[in-house]
Amino acid sequence: MKLTVFTLCCVILMGYAPQSLSRPVSYPGGWTIMQKNDKNAHSLHVHYSPTAKYSIGYRTEYWREEGWQFHGAQLNYLVKRHNAPASQANFYLKGGLGTAHGDLGVPDSKPQPAAFADIALDWETRRYFTSYENRVYYAEDIAKFFRQKARVGIAPYIGDYGDLHTWLMLQVDHITGERDNISFTPFVRFFKNEYLAEVGISDKGGILFNLIIRF
Partner 1 sequence: MKTSIIAIAFMTLFFVFPSHAQHGEHEHNHEGQVVEPSAVSNDMENIACDDTINIKVSGLVCDFCARSLEKIFLKRGDVAGISVDLGKGSVIVATKPGSTIDDTTLTKLITDSGYNVSAIQRGCEHG
Q: Is 48 in the site for partner 1 (CB under 8 A)?
A: no
**Residue with smaller CB distance to partner 1, 117 or 201:** 201
Q: Is 47 in the site for partner 1 (CB under 8 A)?
A: no
Burial (CB < 10 A; 0-12, 13-18, 19+), residue 107, is: exposed
Q: Is 84 in the site for partner 1 (CB under 8 A)?
A: yes
User: Cβ 94 to partner 1, closest distance in Å?
Assistant: 17
Q: Is 183 in the site for partner 1 (CB under 8 A)?
A: no
| Terminal Cα distance for the chain, rounded | 42
Q: Using CB under 8 A, count the residues that bind partner 1.
A: 42
User: Cβ 26 to partner 1, closest distance in Å?
Assistant: 6
Q: Is 196 in the site for partner 1 (CB under 8 A)?
A: yes
Q: Which of 58, 77, 146, 191 binds partner 1 (CB under 8 A)?
A: 191
Q: Is 180 in the site for partner 1 (CB under 8 A)?
A: no
Interface ranges with partner 1 (CB under 8 A): 19, 21, 23, 26-30, 37, 51-52, 81-88, 124-126, 158-163, 165, 190-197, 199, 207, 209, 211, 214
